[in-house]
Structure 1
Amino acid sequence: MTQTTQSPASATLVEFGQRNLNLEEVVAIAKGAKAQLKESADYQEYIQKGARFIDSLLAEEGVVYGVTTGYGDSCTVTVGLDLVHELPLHLSRFHGCGMGNILSVMQARAVMACRLSSLAVGKSGVSYELLKRIETLLNLGITPVIPEEGSVGASGDLTPLSYLAAVLVGEREVIYQGERRATADVYRELDITPLTLRPKEGLALMNGTAVMTALACLAYDRAQYLNRLASRITAMASLTLKGNSNHFDDILFAAKPHPGQNQIAAWIREDLNHHEHPRNSDRLQDRYSIRCAPHIIGVLQDALPFMRQFIETELNSANDNPIVDGEGEHVLHGGHFYGGHIGFVMDSMKNAIANIADLIDRQMALVMDPKFNNGLPANLSGAQGSRKAINHGFKAVQIGVSAWTAEALKNTMPASVFSRSTECHNQDKVSMGTIAARDCMRVLQLTEQVAAAALLAMTQGIHLRIAQGELCHASLTTSVAKTLDQVSADFELLTEDSPLETVLRQTVDKIQQGLWEVCH
């Protein structure tokens, strides 16, 4: 997995304020790490300058978008000074129209971390008290219930982020201690006073890219693990098929030096103990789904660095509108809420991940078919004697893999090119970044299901090779043997047909938790 010089995903405390976060720290918060906002007097003063500057503009009857005006195309509507303190509450309320499934607690915590990171940059005109309240909610495990649908990715994630704003003022619902409850009830129980949002704070909370960026952080974490896993599965597929490990030779890959592609080849080569066992079959060239696996998985591996840069730049940016420069006393109206970079990363990532699903699907097709699997039983059934006639092994699992792969491929249509003009043509070109991120999460889920099926199938295949005397456990590399033993602890050799749903779900869960040891 890509390493960083900053705090790893296993961090138990993540600091916010005048420092850049990495995406592993967002993942850590999502998984339950505590947040700690910088508390120095200098930092608090830096944040408060922006809030005081907004107050001074109100005192001077200045015109500030979203503070003394309506929102979006309603920016020409003047809001009287006697009403400006109610405006943030109205913003949060009229955006309470989210639909679809709700974000998981992990996803919602990641959203909170991304919004806190952006506001902590100090260019949003919010108070230090607001930042502390988000920190408090994270550390108490109070998570907004956020529907996933309703954002076009500009002006940012308005509707889903309204659910965070609403919780801060004591409205709507939260998940607390595993239960979905009214925010007001939880606040009463914990003696928490709802916030009264200051002018600009509703807009600062909602007018940004925190939802799509949060999902991008989580997707990246899963994608880089999946690359490792797909490499391990490819090595196991090669062993199952008695493949030719010369296809992963270091001299061969030096001739086409894409770094990520060559890293994948190296991982597969190390798994196969290439120089000791270069070729096990009479076939000079394996089929593409084995031979070209580094070229397919390697595309994502080579793309990860630029994806990280896009995601982490967005994560550490002030991405609302307007930008408030409290020190220089400027209000700058622009479009930093636009999620184009995240949209591009998510559209690109889902394409590369779906290609991995397609790759593993083809590997599964080879190992199942006695025309191609080099002497293994049809459907990898372990049945013996007359029992062979009624046992079908992995036949239906392979059909499932085909279905999951097809759905993953269907979801690769780029969302970002489907911009819709909305909101009286004020938002006439939007990013669709959040839809792209949701698509990417779905493609990841489907591909992880494909990978889970392949882990079971390749484990079955290697055991069948061992039973046929064509492999022995002692000849396997330590890395492959470890994976084989881990999978075998949950999954016995399939000799009689049985429902595999439970073990498939268990295997997917372990993939998503990163529990299979895929490093060397």
Structure 2
Amino acid sequence: MHPQTPLLLGCPITLSDLEDITRRGRRVALCPEARARIVASRAAVDAIALAGDSAPAVYGINTGFGALAETRIGERDVIALQRNLVRSHATGVGPDLGEAEVRGIMVLRAQVVAMGYSGVRAEVVELLADMLNARVTPRIPSQGSVGASGDLAPLAHLALVLMGEGEATFEGRRMTGGEALAAAGLAPVTLAAKEGLALINGTQYMASLGALAVRDALALCTVADIAGAMSLEANKGSKRPFDERLMKVRPHPGQAACASNLRAMLDDSEIMQSHADCPRVQDAYSLRCMPQVHGASRDALMWAAEVLARELNSVTDNPTVFLREDGGADLLSGGNFHGQPLALALDLAAMAAAELANISERRVEQLVNPALSSGLTPFLAPQSGLHSGFMIAQVASASLVSENKVLCHPASVDSIPSSAGREDHVSMGSVSAKKLAQVIENVRASLAIEIMTAAQGIDQRRPLRSSAAVERAYAAVRAVVPTLDEDRPLYRDIEAVKGLVTSGALARAVEEVTGPLQ
């Protein structure tokens, strides 16, 4: 059930707030204090617009855009200028974004405008809020932004719907923007001076996709710890490398968090007690170095989350309206729409998340390879040779890991000049965000493969029991996927375990034993 208290646009919001709105349907409303700021900044824009041809040239109000910034626009064409801007910039291509990602774009664009530096009327912000609350979802294609001058093309598809154009979904049906608004009891707006520009100048595409993906990636860090604990038990590994003393002499916070999780999950295990005196001195790195690898990913993702949290409450408009104490205003043109801060963070986030799958696949290899698995059957098959067991599950994970290596090439190192050279360096942060979202999907599938493989390994250690927390994870898996007694198609099993991961049910099951994991 989503929170009943509306989020107030124009007041600070968090990554958790964003997830509540996009995925759990939390309502939004305009912050009362924000309304006063909006009215004041709009008055500054109106003063320029009403001055007509005698007003000084101000970018985007009475001039063209980009390379046409020096082209003066006459007073009678100011409204047409905004309409033409939105229409001409709606050039998105590729598959459509999902509802959660579009809702993220909507709320973040509304948040920027509500902060009162954009010179946009309150009714524009209120229409965005009403669309969110009524679940009118604009169709936004996923490709077409270079991540500077803002995510122009994706945001233009959003702005089209506010004008009653473009396409949107309402109550599960695709229709024109105007039809969707009417069906929801809403009316389009006629964009006034600067409003079209204010709706498309910003980083909200990459911020929405990136924020949701980083939230997912941080949750997967905990899932990776659970998967690793299950694999360690299945392969008769040791928990000694996770000793708190070792963590304190190399005090990276992510490493400490992972080791703390592993210690909490590996308490009182019959399997571990059964091999306390075995001759094996050290486990493979994929088991022994989980705190160092998972922890490094966690630290990198936490930094990316900090960057995104700042961006959620940043003004990315251009020009930006600054009110003066004497009652006047300065409209400053700058580059806050440039996506480089996000592009770098999201590229790093993709690499960090990919490592969770990289090491996970190696743990799967430890379980299915009879030369490494401490007595488990080859490929965990019930009768090796006649049955192939988890042989190709490991291959599938390897495929996902390899794909991630391609996706982790940083988009932020590229730039292609646009707008006749005026926009001569761009961030490609939209590509960084899109790649990250795909990496997260691949990591989720890889971890699901490890979890179901480890559960099969635990079956083969019976009658010995693993720790209470690992047994709880095992039980959650067995509630949706039975033990492999003979070969069967495993794609349904993978999807079922992915469902446990995505819903958070697996982590919640473990935390019933351990308390909150980090």
Q: Same fold (TM over 0.5)?
A: yes
Q: 1:274 to 1:433 in 2, by over 3 A?
A: farther
Q: Map of 1:203-352 to 2, 5 A cutoff?
A: 203-273=197-267, 277=272, 280=276, 281-327=278-324, 328-352=328-352
Structure 2 contact 156–200 (Cα < 8 Å) conserved: yes
Deviation at 1:39, TM superposition (A): 5.0
The 1:39/1:430 distance shift into structure 2, 3 A limit, reads closer
**Which residue does the alignment assign to 2:503?**
513
Structure-to-structure mapping, 1:391-470, within 5 angstroms: 391-466=387-462, 469=463
Q: Is the 8 A contact 1:11 1:25 kept in 2?
A: no
| Contact 1:157–1:210, Cα closer than 8 Å, also in 2 | yes
Residue number in structure 1 paired with 2:20: 28
Instruction: Quote the residue 1:484 is aligned against.
Output: 474
Per-residue CA deviation, residues 361-408 of structure 1 (Å, 9 max, x unaligned), is 10011100000000000111134xxxx431111111111011001001
Q: Distance in 2 between matches of 1:124 and 1:510?
A: 43
C-alpha separation in 2, matches of 1:12 and 1:156? 32
**5+ residue gaps, structure 1:** 1-8
Contact 1:119 1:204 in 2 (8 A): yes
**How many angstroms apart in 2 are the aligned matches of 1:33 and 1:188?**
21
Q: Where does residue 46 of structure 1 map in the other structure?
A: 37
Alpha-carbon RMSD:
1.7
**Distance in 1 of aligned mates of 2:5 and 2:21:** 8
Deviating more after overlay: 365-374 vs 292-301 = 292-301
Contact 2:8 2:31 survives alignment (8 Å): no
On the 8 A contact 1:24/1:217 being kept in 2, the answer is no
- Is contact 1:320–1:336 with CA below 8 Å preserved after alignment? yes
- The answer to which of 43-52 and 216-225 deviates more is 43-52
* Cα distance in 2, alignment partners of residues 353 and 306 from structure 1: 13
* Cα shift at 1:103: 0.5
Of the three residues 131, 146, 150, the one matched with 1:152 is 146
Separation in 2, partners of 1:78, 1:358 = 55
Given that residues 204 and 320 in structure 1 are in contact (C-alpha distance below 8 angstroms), is that contact kept between their aligned partners in structure 2? yes
1:331 is paired with a residue of what secondary structure?
A: strand
CA contact (8 A) 1:246 1:274 kept: no
Residue 45 of structure 1, CA deviation = 2.5
- Rounded to whole Å, the distance in 2 between the matches of 1:303 and 1:257 is 15
Deviation at 1:26, TM superposition (A): 0.6
For residues 161-192 of structure 1, the C-alpha deviation after alignment (integer angstroms, 9 at most, x for no partner) is 01110010111111211222222222333342
Point out where structure 2 has 5 or more consecutive residues left out of the alignment.
none
Match of 2:78 among 72, 75, 84: 84
1:120 to 114, 120, 132: 114
Structure-2 change in CA distance of 1:110 and 1:431 (3 Å): same
Distance in 2, Cα, partners of 1:408 & 1:336: 31
Deviations 1:133-157 (A, max 9, x none): 0100000010111001000100110
Amino acid of the residue matched to residue 252 of structure 1? Answer: L
Q: d(CA) in 2 for partners of 1:19 and 1:95?
A: 29
**Residue matched to 2:371:** 371
| Deviates further, 174-183 or 72-81 | 174-183
Task: Output the TM-score relative to the length of structure 1.
Answer: 0.93
> Which one-letter code corresponds to 2:38 in the other structure?
I
Q: Is the 8 A contact 1:223 1:353 kept in 2?
A: yes
Code of the aligned partner of 1:457: T
Counterparts of 1:18 and 1:200, CA distance in 2: 19
- Corresponding residue SS for 1:376: coil
Task: Return the alpha-carbon distance in structure 1 between the equivalents of residues 161 and 425 of structure 2.
Answer: 30
| From 90, 112, 116, the counterpart of 1:96 | 90
Question: Residues of 1 paired with 2:239 and 2:31: CA distance?
Answer: 56
- What's the CA shift for 1:10? 5.6
Cα separation, 1, equivalents of 2:267 and 2:185: 61
AA aligned opposite 2:80: E
Check the 8 A contact 2:66/2:419 in 1, yes or no: yes
**Counterpart residue type for residue 293 of structure 1:** M
Does 2:345 match 1:353? no
Give, in whole Å, the separation in 2 of the partners of 1:268 and 1:67.
Answer: 58
Figure out how many residues of one structure are paired with residues of the other and give that number.
501
Change (3 A) 1:10 1:457: farther
1:499 aligns with 2:489: yes
Q: What letter is aligned with 2:358? A: D
The residue type equivalent to 2:40 in the other structure is K
Partner SS state of residue 330, structure 1: strand
Deviations 1:416-449 (A, max 9, x none): 0011111111111111111101111111111111
Deviates more, 1:25-34 or 1:12-21: 12-21
**Distance (Å, rounded) in 2 between the aligned partners of 1:199 and 1:45:** 19
User: Residue 57 of structure 1: which of 42, 48, 60 is its match?
Assistant: 48
Distance of aligned partners of 1:190 and 1:244 in 2 relative to their CA distance in 1, 3 Å threshold: closer
- The 1-side partners of 2:505 and 2:176 are apart by 35
Contact between 1:16 and 1:120, CA under 8 Å: does it hold in 2?
Answer: no
The one-letter code of the counterpart of 1:45 is A
1:427, 1:249 → 2: CA distance? Answer: 53
Q: Deviations for 1:462-515, whole angstroms, at most 9, x for unmatched residues?
A: 11111xx4x22xx522x2222111110011110111111122123223322323
Contact 2:11 2:34 in 1 (8 A): no
C-alpha contact (below 8 Å) 2:169/2:180 kept by paired residues: no
User: What is the SS of the residue equivalent to 2:421?
Assistant: coil
User: In the aligned structure 2, how far is the partner of 1:107 from the partner of 1:44?
Assistant: 26
Displacement after TM superposition at 1:275 (Å) = 9.3
Q: Which amino acid aligns with 1:36?
A: V
1:196 corresponds to which of 190, 193, 201: 190
Structure 2-normalised TM-score? 0.93
**1:66 and 1:219, CA in 2 relative to 1: closer, same or farther beyond 3 A?**
same
Residue aligned with 2:434, SS: helix
